[in-house]
């Protein structure tokens, strides 16, 4: 039992050491940046299986109650050993 606990603890530490997070601009428009932001999140397992079927810019805009034009779209990706998380951040344009 101690061996299994040691293996699990080692795996958790390795996942923390081998993780990486990158945030980059995905799309930009000529509209000035407003206050409202919407976020859409998903988890991807083994690089192919996406768990949130609604993930995308439309979902982020809906979550942020953005009805007007969009100013920026940023993509944040966190990679771990067996899975990754993706987060789209949509900013509404200032009126």
Q: What digits encode the pLDDT tens for the residues 53-90?
A: 999 999 999 999 998 899 999 999 999 878 899 999 99
Where do the domains of the chain lie? 20-93
Q: Is the pLDDT reported for residue 15 higher than 80?
A: no
The tokens of 22 are what?
A: 């990158």
**What CA–CA distance (Å, rounded) separates 78 from 56?**
16
Model pTM score: 0.76
């Amino acid at each position: 039992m101690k061996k299994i606990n040691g293996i699990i603890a080692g795996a958790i530490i390795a996942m923390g050491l081998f993780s990486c997070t990158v945030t980059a601009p995905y799309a930009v428009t000529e509209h000035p940046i407003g206050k409202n932001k919407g976020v859409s999140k998903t988890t991807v397992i083994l690089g192919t299986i996406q768990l949130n079927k609604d993930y995308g810019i439309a979902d982020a805009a809906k979550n942020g109650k953005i009805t007007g034009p969009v100013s920026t779209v940023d993509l944040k990706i966190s990679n771990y050993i067996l899975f990754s998380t993706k987060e789209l951040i949509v900013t509404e344009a200032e009126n």
